[in-house]
A and B are shown apart, each in its own frame.
Chain A
Amino acid sequence: MPLKVDKNVCSGCGACITVCPYDAIKMEGGKAVIGEYCQLCQSCLSACAEGAIKEIAEGCEKGQADLSSYKGVWVFAEQRGGKVAPVAFELLGEGGKLARQRGVDLSAVLFGAAREDALELIRWGADKVYFCGDGIFKNFEDEPNARLLASLINEHRPEIVLAGATAIGRSFLPRVAARLKTGLTADCTALEIEPETGNLIQTRPAYGGNIMASILSPGTRPQMATVRPKVMKRGKRDDSRQGEIIEVSAGGLKCRTKVLASIRDEEGQMKVNLQEADVIVSGGRGLKGKEGFQMLSELAGLIGGAVGASRAAVDEGWIPYCHQVGQTGKTVAPKLYIACGISGAVQHLVGMQSSDVIVAINKNPEAPIFCVATYGIVGDLNEVVPLLIKKLKERKNGR
């Protein structure tokens, strides 16, 4: 909402001017005045000790008149190469909680894959599955996914639509939101229902993870969000669960892109889907070369992990970009993140600091990586990692 300074309360201290990133506040006659550069970022709100800056309700009431006609929670169950992505089951767990709170049904939407996969979604908590087995969904194309999902939403009017914040979800969900002229919040890490209004509170990191923002879409439906993989917990699988599968026809969907080839990198331990790995062993400049990553991949292989890297290591050409963790790479949150020879630049930290347990191995005791580490070992990784590998092997063989 627009911001205004209460002139009777403003002390003229200038704190708001200092914090305004847009240089939008000026001092006039000893009082702060918010000018036309204001981008409503609200930085000044918390900076004002007097509480003189207030949000003012203004303008027309946004949105559609009849929000109450929207009912139900939907989960878009993404499939890749005919296999339902793990994030879909996590979303069914979270979506089920929201649906129970709202007293509504939980539905899944599955395009591509097989009917058996739709049954599996029911076992994981879906009451209904909107299923389209059309061949058009074999490869991922944005337009048919966006068009069919948008038309199903228009027809059945769910109040909440969730999808994974994956390459696929983050690419086509915005098209759905734009078609429906509704709100979409990217990359959420927490969802809850606001008790007074029933609105969905969608919390997500911004400014490279430096701040968290809670977002509402109070005037439009459905409320749409993409949710980070590995953040939500799965529910319980129940073999006896019954549900309804509703077959949907793809019927002449427009598609102006064509996937000519899919190259999948799945060579053994260099498996790359970092966002869904439970364990990540990551390396940085301290590895000194490609050989260092062979050592990390041995460690990763022992503990069932994937190999990650800092930007420095990728820039050196020691490992491909798809392994990069951080602001310009992937954001990950595994159960265990082992950082080897990574100093911990803020751009790296924002990509991994929500991991459950972080182990840092670094020569420099002052390295910032130790500030976010659960366990730190100060030492030469060429000594520590082989020792770790040796001891883990001994334990394995001992059992």
Chain B
Amino acid sequence: MRIVVCIKQVPDTAEVKINRETGTLVREGVPSIINPYDMHAIEAALALRESLSGKVTAITMGPPQAEAALREAISMGVDDGLLVTGREFAGADTLATSRALSGAIKAAGADLIICGKQAIDGDTAQVGPEVAEFLDIPHVSYVRKIVEAGPGSIKVERLMDEGVDVVQAELPALITVVRELNTPRLPSLKGKMNAKKAEIKKLSASEIGLTPEVVGFNGSPTQVKKIFTPEPRCGRRVLEGGIEGQVEALIKELMEKKCL
């Protein structure tokens, strides 16, 4: 089975702090990591390869330094990496990103595409389903378990708001995965060696059959008008008295606010 994993290099948002004076993000010294959900996508692909044999390719779109994310994926056991990169891709929204990734996936060929549920910087969860639409293949979101895979179809458990669905999809298909699916493996020593010497193939827009007008900023219907920091929460009420008094006061306050 040919499996493609789409990954994204993101700033570790847990490390992002706000400068309360200027209201700006302090990203100095914030490490870049593989999007945590994508780690589960990589693990799922490697586990499938072990049971079905085949090949796993990691694809990312980003600036040249995103190559580090692909090398990390290879150190975990991914066979090769494709980097969609170039000035023309900058400023891409989810539509332009999906168009570029789907072009690269077509070039690589895939029976199954696995993406993380969403990236932790944008949190949109849109790129996976949009890639599926560009490729005209079915997709299943929020996969928490792969029940069986191939040939011809895949059976998975999908997390919904009120429970779980068991869904079968024809292959080729795309799935987006949640962290409940598995525990990502650590890189092996051999993997690290492979990652060091692996050749990362770079693809420009023209190499995946796209013109600069339809990728990056030019190909993005959405634009960021403004970025601002949310108002910090305020108005913390200190409750008086011992525990009993505080609990009494709390109930009174909550009744007044019609919370109870």
Binding site for B on A (CB under 8 A): 1-2, 18-19, 21-24, 36-40, 42-43, 46-47, 59-60, 62-63, 80, 139-140, 142-143, 146, 166-168, 170-175, 177-179, 181-187, 201, 205-220, 255-266, 272-273, 275-276, 279, 303, 321-322, 327-328, 335-336, 345-347, 353, 356-359, 370-377, 379, 383-384, 387-388, 391-392, 395
- By the criterion CB–CB under 8 Å, are A19 and B24 in contact? yes
Query: How many B residues touch the partner, as a band?
Result: 35 or more
Which of B73-81, B118-126, B201-209 interfaces with chain A?
A: B118-126
Complex Cα spacing A346 to B12, Å: 12
Please indicate the chain A residues that have their CB under 8 angstroms from the CB of B14 in the complex. 208, 327, 345-347
Which of B46-54, B136-144, B184-192 interfaces with chain A?
A: B136-144
Q: A22: which of B25, B63, B221 is its contact (CB, 8 Å)?
A: B63
Please indicate the chain A residues that have their CB under 8 angstroms from the CB of B55 in the complex. none
Top 5 nearest A-B pairs by Cβ distance? Answer: A183-B221, A40-B91, A178-B133, A174-B129, A186-B124
Nearest-CB distance from B157 to chain A (Å)? Answer: 8
Complex Cα spacing A371 to B20, Å: 14
Most buried by A among B28, B140, B160, B233: B160
Q: B141: which of A171, A183, A210 is its contact (CB, 8 Å)?
A: A171
- By the criterion CB–CB under 8 Å, are A208 and B165 in contact? no
- By the criterion CB–CB under 8 Å, are A142 and B129 in contact? yes
- By the criterion CB–CB under 8 Å, are B162 and A272 in contact? yes
Please indicate the chain B residues that have their CB under 8 angstroms from the CB of A275 in the complex. 161
Nearest-CB distance from A245 to chain B (Å)? Answer: 27
Most buried by A among B14, B141, B178, B259: B259
Other than A210-B25, A256-B170, give 14 A-B pairs with Cβ distance below 8 A.
A1-B223, A23-B65, A62-B218, A140-B160, A167-B141, A168-B161, A181-B95, A183-B222, A258-B168, A272-B163, A279-B259, A356-B259, A357-B259, A377-B246
- By the criterion CB–CB under 8 Å, are A172 and B129 in contact? yes
A interface footprint on B51-76 (CB within 8 Å = 1, 0 otherwise): 00000000000111100000000000
Q: A42: which of B98, B220, B224 is its contact (CB, 8 Å)?
A: B224
Given A40-B91, A261-B166, are A46 and B24 also a contact pair (CB < 8 Å)?
yes
Most buried by A among B14, B123, B140: B123
Most buried by B among A21, A60, A207, A272: A207
Q: A210: which of B16, B144, B217, B246 is its contact (CB, 8 Å)?
A: B16
- By the criterion CB–CB under 8 Å, are A303 and B260 in contact? yes
- By the criterion CB–CB under 8 Å, are A184 and B140 in contact? no
Instruction: Summarize A's interface: helix, strand, loop or mixed.
Output: mixed
- By the criterion CB–CB under 8 Å, are B126 and A177 in contact? yes
- By the criterion CB–CB under 8 Å, are A273 and B161 in contact? yes
Nearest-CB distance from B221 to chain A (Å)? Answer: 3
Nearest-CB distance from A398 to chain B (Å)? Answer: 12
Please indicate the chain B residues that have their CB under 8 angstroms from the CB of A1 in the complex. 217, 223
Given A174-B130, A265-B163, are A207 and B13 also a contact pair (CB < 8 Å)?
yes
Please indicate the chain A residues that have their CB under 8 angstroms from the CB of B126 in the complex. 170, 173-174, 177, 184, 186
Given A261-B166, A377-B250, are A187 and B93 also a contact pair (CB < 8 Å)?
no
**B87 on the A face (CB < 8 A):** yes
- By the criterion CB–CB under 8 Å, are B13 and A215 in contact? no
- By the criterion CB–CB under 8 Å, are A39 and B27 in contact? no
- By the criterion CB–CB under 8 Å, are B221 and A220 in contact? yes
Complex Cα spacing A375 to B11, Å: 33
- By the criterion CB–CB under 8 Å, are A21 and B224 in contact? no
- Please name 22 pairs of A and B residues whose Cβ atoms are closer than 8 Å in the assembled complex, sorted by A: A18-B28, A22-B63, A22-B65, A36-B64, A39-B63, A146-B133, A170-B126, A174-B98, A177-B94, A183-B220, A205-B230, A208-B14, A208-B120, A210-B25, A211-B25, A211-B230, A262-B164, A321-B180, A336-B259, A359-B250, A373-B236, A377-B239
A interface footprint on B90-109 (CB within 8 Å = 1, 0 otherwise): 11011100100000000000
Complex Cα spacing A59 to B228, Å: 27
- By the criterion CB–CB under 8 Å, are B222 and A80 in contact? no
Complex Cα spacing A213 to B44, Å: 33
- By the criterion CB–CB under 8 Å, are B90 and A21 in contact? no
- By the criterion CB–CB under 8 Å, are B251 and A388 in contact? yes
Please indicate the chain B residues that have their CB under 8 angstroms from the CB of A59 in the complex. 213, 217-218
- By the criterion CB–CB under 8 Å, are A21 and B27 in contact? yes
- By the criterion CB–CB under 8 Å, are A37 and B63 in contact? yes
Complex Cα spacing A275 to B159, Å: 14
**B18 on the A face (CB < 8 A):** yes
Please indicate the chain B residues that have their CB under 8 angstroms from the CB of A38 in the complex. 90
Complex Cα spacing A207 to B230, Å: 12
Nearest-CB distance from B122 to chain A (Å)? Answer: 6
Complex Cα spacing A123 to B180, Å: 41
**B226 on the A face (CB < 8 A):** yes
- By the criterion CB–CB under 8 Å, are A177 and B125 in contact? no
- By the criterion CB–CB under 8 Å, are B223 and A217 in contact? yes
Given A174-B129, A260-B155, A335-B259, are A213 and B224 also a contact pair (CB < 8 Å)?
yes
Closest to B126 in A: A174
Q: B130: which of A178, A255, A276 is its contact (CB, 8 Å)?
A: A178
Closest to B18 in A: A210
- By the criterion CB–CB under 8 Å, are B222 and A357 in contact? no
Nearest-CB distance from A169 to chain B (Å)? Answer: 10
Q: B138: which of A23, A183, A256 is its contact (CB, 8 Å)?
A: A256
